[in-house]
Structures are given as structure tokens and as C-alpha cells.
């Protein structure tokens, strides 16, 4: 069977004038509006050609229409960099020598900047790399909500709060698509765990769906103008989310007016009839059905290929749905490959490395700094770095976001390169974690095998720590299975590889201990009261070591804030408070492989749950320290009453009361004092980042309207803001409220 065309048997089944319709008229001028060009192209296409462009012809590509000069669509994984080229029908490497990239920080780090301008810079830079590689679509960004700290893919997402994720995703999309490369926002929706991801059916009420899990996707579509969205693997209302009537047709396309392409996740399609009717536009996958090893190069066997074509031939279905799908794909092509005005892009540029470093610098979060251990100061003679994560490459592995980089600066190399004059920086391993270094044919080239015992490594680290001015432990998670990795969830909240015992031993050996946690998830810290300084460093990509060194040595004053809550224990998380029915789901008794999972905690995710249950987090949402200090003045409003079509602006004076320049993220939370429905104690509804010189004061202004006061009325299926009293809180974190102001909605 020819993998590049519809099978001859199917072609012959349709009349010649349908398959080989001719057109001698000149193609429409590309200066005309896209919709005219799409209409013209669609009118010239045969049924066979329409079928061809809505499914893959290779691992990452779909065919165009050669006869009409319509080019192919080439996608590639993101969202942290452009994945290397793979073989036509395999995940392994194609063996190119010019497909290395710059790895940008993971999206958790981007979200931790709380800076939409960083998001725009990120989108532009990664878009330039994708454009240079001639990709029409980058598979990202990811914006699924952080529901549980066990989700192996949380590092690819933007945290637990829908408002923060909404504000951060929009400029990323706009920056990316300014290069003529489509964003493919993922994974729409309710894909909040990796365990049983193909077989979990989510049970959720409409209010929770609309208030927590949909806002960032809605913002991506209506504000960001995303050209593509990827469906999720799991099920909702017993339909897989790559072909789901409710989420794709009713919400995405009808309610939100999405005019782009719905792309299946690779292997996320399961049924031809549902794929036809329930909103899927382009099918991608692996082997025969994307899930099981079958016939190689079997793209014509995809659900939206020969099976769909045969149903049309047999008169079982019409072509209205096909025309809509083809129209959307053509619109995508006109916006990308056929836009002759799009820029050329660039690859591995100094500007991209600078962007990666800047984003990393702003995303690193200083969690604790008792005794001002940081920044490292004075004239230290010897710094001891301990931990496998200080040397292990983190850009390889973790699933589809695995990259082949031109270079990756390790924490150890970064700390050595920027060390104070005359300071020796030594390294000992301390623990053995993941000694692997390969993913889909990309290898790190590192040999991390170790013959010494766990105790021998600890003893060595402790002995060396006693003779150092500072000890920097670099540990946390990695990209191995059951850690921060696609297709598996973590086994628990604790650190792996006996790191807790090692940290305790180091704390006893040296009072100047700094723990640098590298992860995309919250971790338990039973030693938190014994360690003076803790830094959350995320997966920072190519410039990881330089960003960490910039912060630890004080070249950069940390300003990141947590985009999700660090709980004290797993039972402090809403998703883990109702037994297996809430996570990971309970198998049905009907002989199927489906598990039902009920989001029993409802709208109470992250800090909303901690507030409701009056729990004290290990570190709260929005928390992050600085090397300087800030004083907040009293919050004031430009009016104390607003109408339904009005806005209200709050002003918060902030002063840098320390001796270093620094940036503070001012957060605005809203409390509804009295409502006919249960509402969270408070919700984030605004934030702003302000940079201040020592002694400087600036007024931070944040404006809100009725939308920020509304809840979703499921019965009426609309957003409602009830008149009454509200409280606006100016805060440095979800638990650090500085002042409050009461106002009314008329």
C-alpha cells in the first residue's frame, strides 16, 4: 500500500470527475483575505484530497495537496524547545546533525516568573527556532491544571490557578504565532494525571469544569487566538476527549468560536464515527491505531483515513463534516506555510540563550533564607556541591518534551564558572538516582554508573561538607519514569533515592547548607526546619547552571513566586482526600478497562482547598522571597462601589526597604462576602510585577471588572456576579495578606 496516497481501490470507487476534478483558473492572490483563499482551495479539492489532509502521513507530518500547490503540515513537539527529527514512522532519531536546539525552561518555571512579558519573550524565541526548522505547528504550550503533585507531567504546565495560567499562556501563543508557527495548546482538557491516561473517565460538575479547568483554554482561544488545540487522552462523559461532542463541538467551537484545528494526541483517536461527528479535525498517531504496534506506515488505516472515505463511498455519512475539517486545515496552512510574509526564524542564536537564561533567572524561587545564607558572600575558599542533579543532563527524557540540545550548562559547571575569585568548587555525588541517559535515540553521553554503596556516598559527602565554607545540595526529581515524566505518575510526595537522609546528615555537618530542589512538582521536606536556605530551581533547560549560579551568587535577585502550593503532606491535597474514587479512579465492573474518577474536591484545588480546610502549606501558592525586603502600603480603590459594566482600580504602594534592587509580585485576591453558592475564601484575580531600587516606592495598580467577581451558574449555564460586598486583598502570597479593602457591586 502506498503510504503517500489514498489506496487505489478507494480511488476507483469514486467517479473520475470527483477524484480528479480539474481547475485551470489561476490560484487566488495570496493578498486576498484568508477565508476567500480557503473557499477557493476547498472548491477545487476532491473528496480524496480532503480526506488526505486531515490525517498524518508520517510521525509528525500530514500531506498537503500537491496538485494545487498546497504544502504539507509539519508539526513537532514542544513546548520547551523543538524536538529533533525522527524517522518517518519511528520515534527514534533520523540521524540529522543540524537539529539541535536551545532548551528553554519548563513551563512551571515560566509560570513562576508571574511575568507575561517573559511569556511573550519565550513564545517568540521558541517560535523562531520552530520557524527556522520549517515547522508549521509546535505542540504546546501545556496548560492543564495542577490538581495533584503526583502528576508526572506537571512540569509541562502552568500551575494550579486558572487565572495565572490564563494570563501567562496568552502572550506565549501570540509570540509563537508571530513567527507564522501555530501553537497547539494542550491537553484539552481534564488531563490532570498520567496514570491510566487512556482509560480514565472524569466525573466533574459543570461549575468546576468552567471555573477551574477551562479558563486557560478559553483565554488561549479568545485572547491568544490559538490556531490549534490538542485533545486529551482521557475520557469525559464516556467519550474520549479527542472526539468529544461536549468539549469540542459545544464548548470549543460553538461557545468560544474557535476557528482553528483540533488535533488528536498521538494515538488519542478511537472510533471513526465519533471522530467524524465529535469535533476532531486532524488525526495523528503511531503505527496502526496509535496505541498498539501494528502495520508500519499504516496511515491510510487511521480512523479519519480509509474508514472515513469508505463510509462516504457507501453513503453512510455525508461530507459536511469533512468540508468543515478540511476548511480548518486549509485555514491553518494559509496562516502558516502559505503565509509568504512570515519571518524566516533563527536557531541557536545568542538571543535565544539569553532569553532562556533570563526566564530561568526570573523563575527561580527562593523558598527559605534564614540567616541570610544567600546570596553566597564574603570570600569563601571552598564550596562543596553535592548531588547527582548537579551534573545530570535534564533536557533528555521525560517524554515528548525530551530534547537534543546544542549545549546544557549543568548546575556544577555554572557554579564553577561564576565562583568568587580564589574559591574552589568541588563536587561529590551523595546519592545515586537515574543512571540512564537515553530517550528515543538521543543520548546524554554521560556515564553515571556507580559502584559505591549508599552509605559510602553519604559518608564521603558528610566528611567533605565539614571542610567547606558552603554546601550546596542539588537534588530533587529527574525525568525518569514515576518522577517528572510523561506516561507515569509519582509514587508519593517524598524525595526519591534516600535524599532526605542525606540532607539531614549534611545539615548536621555544615550550618551553611543550601538545598537546590530541581523538579516540576512539589516535594515533601521533612528537614525543612533544619536547613537554612532552600531554592526551587525547576528544569531550566540549556542555561540551567548559569541561572542557578546567577541567583546563588547574587548576580540576580530572585523574584519568582510559586505557581502551585507545596503541601505539608499528600493528604493535604483535595484530590487525595476522598480515596481512590478521586485519584487515581476506580475500575468499572462492566468488563471494560475504563476507570471512573470523580473530582470530588470540586472547585477547591490548590490554595482554595488549603483555605477551605484551614491547612498550613509547606510553602503557599504565590510564595517567593528576595534578597531585599518590601513594605506594602494600604490598598485603596478609586471607588467603593461599581456597576455591572464598570471597573474598579486598586492601588497598592510598595517600597523596597532593603539595600538591593529587587522585584516584587503583588497579588490581588478577591473574597465574596456573601453569595447564594459556596465560594472559595479568596481567589487570585490580578497580579503585577514591580521593580524597585533601594528606598524606592511605586504605586502598583490592578484593575478588575465584573468577570473577576463572577462564578459559573451551572443551572443557568452562564457566569453570574451577584450584587453585594466583596473584599480585595493585596498580598505577597496566598497566606501573606498585607491589607484589604471592601467594595460593593451594585
Residue 112: other Cβ atoms inside 10 A? 31
Segment (H or E) for 163? helix 162-177
Catalytic residues: 265
Strand partners, 649: 703
CB-based contact 235:741 (threshold 8 Å): no
- Find, among 625, 627, 630, the residue nearest to 652 by Cα: 630
pTM, 2 dp: 0.95
Question: 3-class SS at 131?
Answer: helix
Give CA–CA dist 153/474, Å, rounded: 21
Q: What is the pLDDT of residue 89?
A: 82
Residue 286: other Cβ atoms inside 10 A? 19
Give CA–CA dist 231/208, Å, rounded: 19
In the chain (746 residues long), the average pLDDT of successive 10-residue segments reads: 37 39 55 92 96 95 95 96 91 92 98 98 98 98 98 98 98 98 98 97 98 98 98 98 98 98 96 97 74 65 94 97 98 96 97 98 98 95 98 96 97 98 97 94 94 98 98 98 96 98 98 98 98 98 98 98 98 98 96 96 98 98 98 97 94 98 98 96 98 98 97 97 97 98 96
CB-based contact 648:704 (threshold 8 Å): yes
Strand partners, 474: 516
Q: What is the pLDDT of residue 206?
A: 98
DSSP β-ladder status, 73-77 and 61-62: antiparallel
CB-based contact 47:14 (threshold 8 Å): yes
Instruction: Give the 3-state DSSP-derived string for 328-380, with helices as H, strands as E and coil as C.
Output: HHHHHHHHCCCCCCCCCCCCCCHHHHHHHHHHHHHHCEEEEEHHHCCCCCCCC
Q: Angle 565-569-570 (CA atoms, 0-180°, nearest 5)?
A: 85
CB-based contact 617:566 (threshold 8 Å): yes
Q: What is the pLDDT of residue 243?
A: 98
Cβ-in-10-Å burial (0-12, 13-18, 19+) of 644 comes to: exposed
Cis omega (within 30 of 0) for bond into 501: no
Q: What is the pLDDT of residue 92?
A: 86
Strands (E), 63-199: 73-77, 137-139, 182-188
Give CA–CA dist 462/467, Å, rounded: 9
Gap between the terminal Cα atoms of the chain: 68
Q: Angle 458-371-501 (CA atoms, 0-180°, nearest 5)?
A: 20
Give CA–CA dist 408/249, Å, rounded: 43
CB-based contact 700:652 (threshold 8 Å): yes
Considering only CA atoms, give the Rg of the chain.
Answer: 26
**Assigned architecture for domain 364-552:** 3-Layer(aba) Sandwich (3.40)
User: For 173, phi and psi rounded to 5 degrees?
Assistant: -60, -45
Q: What is the pLDDT of residue 88?
A: 85
Give CA–CA dist 682/669, Å, rounded: 6
- Find, among 400, 406, 346, 439, the residue nearest to 97 by Cα: 406
- Find, among 481, 346, 358, the residue nearest to 104 by Cα: 358
Strands (E), 406-449: 424-428, 438-439, 442-443
Cis omega (within 30 of 0) for bond into 388: no
Give CA–CA dist 351/706, Å, rounded: 40
- Find, among 250, 313, 331, 270, the residue nearest to 53 by Cα: 331
Question: 3-class SS at 658?
Answer: coil
Note the CATH number of domain 628-745: 2.60.40.10
Give CA–CA dist 217/678, Å, rounded: 24
Q: What is the DSSP secondary-structure string of 380-395?
A: -SEEEEE-GGGTS--S
Cβ-in-10-Å burial (0-12, 13-18, 19+) of 318 comes to: exposed
Residue 438 CB partners (closer than 8 Å, separation 6+): 396, 444
Q: Angle 625-629-631 (CA atoms, 0-180°, nearest 5)?
A: 115
Give CA–CA dist 144/520, Å, rounded: 13
- Find, among 366, 349, 359, the residue nearest to 117 by Cα: 359
DSSP β-ladder status, 442-443 and 438-439: antiparallel
- Find, among 407, 428, 182, 179, the residue nearest to 282 by Cα: 182
CA distances from 67 to 10, 21, 41, 47, 70 (A): 19, 10, 11, 13, 8
Q: Which listed CATH number (3.20.20.300, 3.40.50.12590, 3.20.20.140, 3.40.50.20) goes with 10-335?
A: 3.20.20.300
Strand partners, 686: 668
Domain boundaries, the chain: 10-335, 364-552, 628-745
Give CA–CA dist 50/66, Å, rounded: 12
Amino acid at each position: 500500500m502506498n503510504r503517500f496516497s489514498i489506496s487505489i481501490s478507494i480511488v476507483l470507487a469514486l467517479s473520475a470527475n470527483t477524484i480528479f476534478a480539474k481547475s485551470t483558473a489561476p490560484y487566488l492572490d495570496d493578498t486576498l483575505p484568508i477565508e476567500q483563499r480557503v473557499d477557493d482551495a476547498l472548491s477545487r479539492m476532491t473528496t480524496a484530497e480532503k480526506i488526505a489532509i486531515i490525517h498524518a502521513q508520517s510521525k509528525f507530518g500530514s500531506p498537503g495537496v500537491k496538485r494545487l500547490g498546497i504544502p504539507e503540515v509539519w508539526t513537532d513537539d514542544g513546548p520547551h524547545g523543538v524536538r529533533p527529527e525522527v524517522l518517518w514512522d519511528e520515534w527514534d532519531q533520523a540521524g540529522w546533525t543540524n537539529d539541535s536546539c536551545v532548551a528553554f525552561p519548563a513551563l512551571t518555571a515560566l509560570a513562576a516568573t508571574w511575568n507575561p512579558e517573559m511569556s511573550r519573550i519565550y513564545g517568540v524565541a521558541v517560535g523562531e527556532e520552530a520557524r527556522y526548522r520549517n515547522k508549521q505547528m509546535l505542540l504546546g504550550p501545556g496548560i492543564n491544571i495542577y490538581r495533584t503533585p503526583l502528576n508526572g507531567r506537571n512540569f509541562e504546565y502552568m500551575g494550579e490557578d486558572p487565572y495565572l495560567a490564563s494570563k501567562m499562556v496568552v502572550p506565549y501563543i501570540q509570540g509563537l504565532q508571530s513567527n507564522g508557527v501555530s501553537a497547539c495548546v494542550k491537553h484539552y482538557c481534564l488531563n490532570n494525571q498520567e496514570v491510566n491516561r487512556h482509560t480514565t473517565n472524569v466525573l466533574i460538575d459543570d461549575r468546576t469544569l468552567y471555573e477551574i479547568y477551562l479558563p486557560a483554554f478559553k483565554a488561549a482561544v479568545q485572547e491568544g487566538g490559538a490556531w490549534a488545540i490538542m485533545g486529551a487522552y482521557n475520557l469525559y462523559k464516556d467519550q474520549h476527549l479527542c472526539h468529544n461532542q461536549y468539549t469540542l463541538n459545544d464548548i470549543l467551537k460553538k461557545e468560544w468560536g474557535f476557528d482553528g484545528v483540533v488535533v488528536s494526541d498521538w494515538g488519542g483517536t478511537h472510533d471513526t464515527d465519533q471522530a467524524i461527528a465529535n469535533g476532531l479535525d486532524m488525526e495523528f498517531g503511531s503505527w496502526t491505531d496509535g496505541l498498539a504496534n501494528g502495520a508500519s506506515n499504516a496511515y491510510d488505516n487511521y480512523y479519519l483515513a480509509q474508514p472515513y472515505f469508505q463510509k462516504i463511498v457507501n453513503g453512510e455519512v455525508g461530507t459536511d463534516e469533512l468540508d468543515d475539517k478540511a476548511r480548518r486545515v486549509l485555514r491553518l496552512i494559509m496562516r502558516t506555510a502559505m503565509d509568504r510574509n512570515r519571518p524566516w526564524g533563527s536557531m541557536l542564536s545568542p538571543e535565544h540563550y539569553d532569553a532562556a537564561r533570563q526566564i530561568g533567572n526570573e523563575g527561580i524561587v527562593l523558598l527559605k533564607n534564614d540567616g541570610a545564607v544567600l546570596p553566597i558572600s564574603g570570600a569563601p575558599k571552598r564550596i562543596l556541591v553535592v548531588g547527582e542533579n548537579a551534573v545530570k543532563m535534564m533536557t533528555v527524557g521525560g517524554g515528548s518534551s525530551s530534547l537534543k540540545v546544542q549545549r546544557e550548562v549543568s548546575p556544577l559547571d555554572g557554579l564553577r564558572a561564576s565562583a568568587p575569585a580564589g574559591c574552589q568548587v568541588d563536587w561529590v555525588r551523595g546519592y545515586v538516582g537515574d543512571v540512564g541517559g537515553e530517550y528515543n535515540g538521543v543520548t546524554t553521553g554521560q556515564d553515571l554508573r556507580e559502584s559505591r554503596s549508599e552509605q559510602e556516598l553519604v559518608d564521603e559527602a558528610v566528611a567533605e561538607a565539614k571542610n567547606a565554607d558552603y554546601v550546596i545540595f542539588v537534588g530533587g526529581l529527574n525525568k525518569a519514569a514515576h518522577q517528572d515524566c510523561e506516561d507515569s505518575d509519582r509514587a508519593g510526595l517524598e524525595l526519591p533515592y534516600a535524599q532526605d537522609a542525606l540532607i539531614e546528615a549534611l545539615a548536621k555537618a555544615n550550618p551553611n547548607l543550601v538545598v537546590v530542589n530541581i523538579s516540576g512538582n512539589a516535594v515533601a521536606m521533612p528537614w525543612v526546619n533544619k536547613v537554612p536556605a532552600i531554592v526551587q530551581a525547576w528544569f531550566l533547560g540549556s542555561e540551567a547552571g548559569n541561572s542557578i549560579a546567577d541567583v546563588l551568587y547574587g548576580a540576580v535577585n530572585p523574584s519568582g513566586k510559586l505557581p502551585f502550593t507545596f503541601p505539608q503532606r499528600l493528604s493535604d491535597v483535595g484530590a487525595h482526600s476522598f480515596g481512590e474514587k478521586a485519584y487515581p479512579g476506580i475500575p468499572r465492573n462492566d468488563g471494560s478497562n475504563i476507570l471512573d474518577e470523580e473530582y470530588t474536591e470540586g472547585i477547591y484545588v490548590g490554595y482554595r482547598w488549603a483555605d477551605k480546610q484551614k491547612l498550613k502549606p509547606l510553602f503557599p501558592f504565590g510564595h517567593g522571597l528576595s534578597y531585599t525586603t518590601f513594605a506594602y502600603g494600604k490598598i485603596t480603590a478609586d471607588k467603593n462601589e461599581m456597576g455591572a459594566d464598570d471597573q474598579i482600580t486598586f492601588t497598592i504602594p510598595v517600597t523596597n526597604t532593603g539595600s538591593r534592587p529587587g522585584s516584587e509580585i503583588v497579588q490581588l485576591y478577591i473574597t465574596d462576602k456573601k453569595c447564594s453558592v459556596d465560594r472559595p475564601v479568596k481567589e487570585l484575580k490580578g497580579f503585577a510585577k514591580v521593580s524597585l531600587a533601594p528606598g524606592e516606592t511605586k504605586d502598583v495598580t490592578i484593575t478588575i471588572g465584573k468577570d473577576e467577581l463572577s462564578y459559573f451558574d451551572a443551572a443557568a449555564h452562564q457566569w453570574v456576579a451577584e450584587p453585594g460586598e466583596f473584599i480585595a486583598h493585596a498580598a505577597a502570597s496566598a497566606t501573606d495578606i498585607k491589607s484589604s479593602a471592601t467594595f460593593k457591586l451594585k
